[in-house]
A and B are shown apart, each in its own frame.
Chain A
Amino acid sequence: MTYYIRRIAFYVVTLWAAISLNFLLPRLLPGDPADIIIGKLRRASGGRPIPQEVIDAIRALLGTKDGSMWDQYLAYWGRLLHGDLGVSSSRYPVPVADLIAQALPWTIALVGTATIISFALGIIVGAWVGWRRGTWFDHLVPVTTVFQSIPYFWLALVLVAIFAVNLGLFPIVGGYDFFAFPDGPEASWAFVQSAAYHAVLPALTIVLSSVGGWLLGMRNMMVSTLSEDYIVIAEAKGLRPSRIRSRYAARNAAIPSYAGFGIALGFVVAGSIVMEQVFSYPGIGKLMIQSVQSLDYSLMQGVFLVITVAVLGANFIMDIVYGFIDPRARHDD
């Protein structure tokens, strides 16, 4: 039990540090980001004065010249706990929290599902390839790694050109068919179908370009696990090969991959910038790139905060799961 308590305490401290760092970073940047934002707002509003409440809100989030750091820090936490991430300067006056809330579900659903598919596929096929090492199955390794090394952008464009434009099998853009659903997302089976249909090509690019890594890692671990003594004993006991493969070899060989999976899950929230651009797919990645391009500090800070929390959360869950899967991980208590 102390293992879990220790892990939880560790993550609480890390979360606090990450959020505090998010508070500090804009204040450490050269120049005053708050001044830059207020200046941008002034320009966007044709040189007119900006209401004092807006200025106060920006200062509280991004730093102010008056008031101690400690007071600012408390104000920052106060706003965060109320879910107030400020106002985007490049899309003034849209609240940052709204932008993130709109994008997050799409990213989690698509990139999350694709990451899980890619992982499952890589582990299952990797286990087979490792089990049948030296046969034609081994050709799968170079094939999948070639896909991984193709520039992602290009792969996505080729898929669109072939399957969407020439063959017309899949839609070209969007998270759903906005021609058929002009009112936006709705709670209907037809909409879910449309969204799933639109997710195929984007998901395929993500899976194609990431499955090679999982497969290669799993295959190699499988090969080295198969030379372990307990496998020889299992064989000597006369166990069925399928049982040796899945319960003895694959189970142990997969353990290092789980750690990598935890990290990959965390980065799901960062979205997939290139995929979102090519498919005009809604998601967090484009918010991140747009905010960086237009020096929109509030949006940047909001996106980074969500990503940080997600990476920590995913790692925390994987740590817990890891403790279950591999009892050795919690043995030192």
Chain B
Amino acid sequence: MSGHTRTLAAITAASLALGLALTGCGTGDDDSGGSSAVLHVWGGNATPLDNDFNPFHIDTAQKATFGPIYEPLFFYNQLSSEPPVPLIGESFEYSEDGMALTVTIKPDQKWSDGTALTADDVAFTFTYGTNKASDLISAEATDATTVVFTYTQPQFTAAPLTLGNTFIVPEHIWSGIDDYMGQLNSEPVGSGPYTLKTFSTAAYTIEANKNFREELPAVTEVQYVGLDGNQSSQDLLATGQLDWVGQFVANPEVLTDGGVLSTLNLQQDPTVVMTCSSAALGCSGPQTDVAVRQAISAALDRGTIREKAFAGLAAEGNPAFLLLPRDQSWLADDALSQSPQDPDVATAGEILEAAGYVKDADGFYGKNGEAIDLDLFSPDGWTDYNDAAKLISEQAAEAGIKITARTVSDAEYWTPLANGDFQLALYGLTASLQSDPYSTYQQYFYGASTAEVDSEPQNGGQNYARYSNPTVDVAVVAAGATADEAVKQRAYATIQAEIARDLPYIPVVLNASQSFFNSKDFTGWPSADDLYAMPLPYSSVASGIVLRHLAPAK
């Protein structure tokens, strides 16, 4: 009858022993990380990391795939209006009509496995997998360093995508692979400054690529870690265990006061209230009336939204959707250089009354006895968006427009947007990669980039607002078919006037993107005076450029 006591005693002994073991080994590895020249980075990935370095997995491959390991032909710095920086490529030239593109690449390049990188690899890349454009006729290597592309349409505006965002892959490896999406590509062979050294589900390390065509990076090893939350990364930054992170921190002084970390906050991407704007394409609700959209825009107190919802870190947006001052030369009308930052309730009321709306007993505008009642959603947990939505709802109410803000799960956010099954949604657009707003206008405002409600935009179109305006469509086509700046300027002026009036996307702010980096142990980071690349570790291509500029501090 003593079996039970013995069991208990055994458990006690075991747990005591374990407790001792647990507390006993708190010493020993205090000097890990520390002084060595390994750069520790968090690219925003949660654990477990997947051993995925497939450049065709745009969303899910590890961050080091794009830039450090694989490279495009040229680097387009979205922070400047300078010409692109040559990477694999050396120069490119369009034919007169824009239907042919000749690219010369640098001579004597090698893949990280030692094989020669030639124009054949480049030509192969553009005819392989998702890289093959629908309007491409052929891509031919005419000699070891020259590739000639021919197209069915003028390509003047496609350069940032073709040259700056297509990752060149080795033909000798990928030509034998049919199912390029089904690959993890865990032993990547690339042309970039780094190659994969070791991988685990908690972290992976890249090291300098000995076959790199240019000077080897001074930081010879970079470790990317996986973390499940912003708080963890903030704690690791504060204790000096991480060197480079791009994330939102409401009070950045806490991190930078120590003198080790520096921060840059670059505002780029417009946060907007996206509206399902076209009744003709199947949208329903008061927001299909342009007067309602204009009234909402007039009612917004954008200054307060910036301060309260975005912790004062966001910047002022503009209704022309240009990135200023970079795109200053494309701004047709100075009145469009900034969205109004203060609310104008009177104007909002006038717009609605002119359009035949009347105030009801509760103080809300309506038409034909039916009050405007709009639904605005944002993804749950995106706290800046959620707070902004609440403020927008309150500010619209001041002007007599009823907007109900709610939050939805991630899964419930994307599907209604893609299918057009929404009224208003808080949404983020992306600024164009180069100093030319063509891609913004083409992706978000062009009629061919949208679809009827209940179907999704095709061919990479992201006009989820269902905006369809023949005047804009003609101007987009005209801008895409020319290399003549004056013609483009006229086309953009038309587009800017139309979209600033129609407001399918109501600008709210330019969202902040904060980066934090260890400027004590590493030098060469981008600064406000020298924005040679976007200093975000998850930023495609740019992260590889930043790594090449870094050096351990002496």
Contact = CB atoms under 8 A, between A and B. Distances in A.
A155 B4 CA distance: 34
B184 A165 contact: no
A90 B52 CA distance: 13
B223 A179 contact: yes
B229 A280 contact: yes
A93 B184 contact: yes
B546 interface: no
Interface in B322-376: none
A282 interface: yes
Given A173-B232, A179-B32, A295-B411, A45 B26 contact: no
Given A51-B179, A175-B202, A280-B228, A102 B223 contact: no
A146 interface: no
A196 B12 contact: no
A194 B12 CA distance: 24
A8 interface: no
Contacts of A295: 411
Contact of B238 (A165, A176, A324): A165
Interface in A24-64: 41, 44-48, 50-51, 54
A132 to B, nearest CB: 18
Interface string A163-198: 011001110111111111111110000100110110
Contacts of B236: 172-173
Interface string B176-189: 00110111100000
Contacts of B238: 165
A306 interface: no
A94 interface: yes
A193 B25 contact: yes
Interface in A245-280: 246-247, 250-251, 254, 276-280
Chain B interface residue bracket vs A: 35 or more
A172 B235 contact: yes
Contact of B5 (A194, A247, A286): A247
Contacts of B2: 247
B225 A164 contact: no
A121 to B, nearest CB: 7
A45 B25 contact: no
Interface in A196-233: 196-197, 199-200, 203
Contacts of A325: 3-4
Nearest to B60: A91
B252 interface: no
A113 interface: yes
B8 A203 contact: no
Bin chain A's interface residue count: 35 or more
A286 B239 CA distance: 25
B251 interface: no
Contacts of A178: 200, 202-203, 223, 225
Interface string A276-308: 111110100011001001110000000000000
Interface in A87-117: 90-94, 99, 102-103, 113, 116-117
A172 B25 contact: no
A102 B201 contact: yes
Nearest to B40: A179
B183 A117 contact: no
A314 interface: no
Interface string B116-133: 000000000000011000
Interface of B: 1-5, 8, 11-12, 14-15, 18-19, 21-23, 25-26, 28-29, 32-33, 38, 40, 46-48, 50, 52, 56-60, 129-130, 178-179, 181-184, 197-205, 223, 225-229, 231-232, 235-236, 238-239, 241, 409-411, 458
Given A113-B18, A182-B200, 12 more contacts: A102-B48, A177-B29, A179-B33, A179-B40, A179-B241, A184-B199, A190-B28, A197-B26, A247-B1, A280-B228, A295-B411, A324-B3
Interface of A: 41, 44-48, 50-51, 54, 90-94, 99, 102-103, 113, 116-117, 120-121, 123-124, 157, 160-161, 164-165, 168-170, 172-185, 190, 193-194, 196-197, 199-200, 203, 246-247, 250-251, 254, 276-280, 282, 286-287, 290, 293-295, 324-325
23 contacts: A48-B130, A48-B181, A91-B52, A93-B182, A124-B8, A157-B231, A169-B26, A182-B203, A193-B25, A194-B29, A197-B25, A200-B23, A203-B22, A278-B231, A280-B46, A280-B227, A286-B46, A286-B47, A287-B48, A293-B410, A294-B410, A295-B411, A325-B4
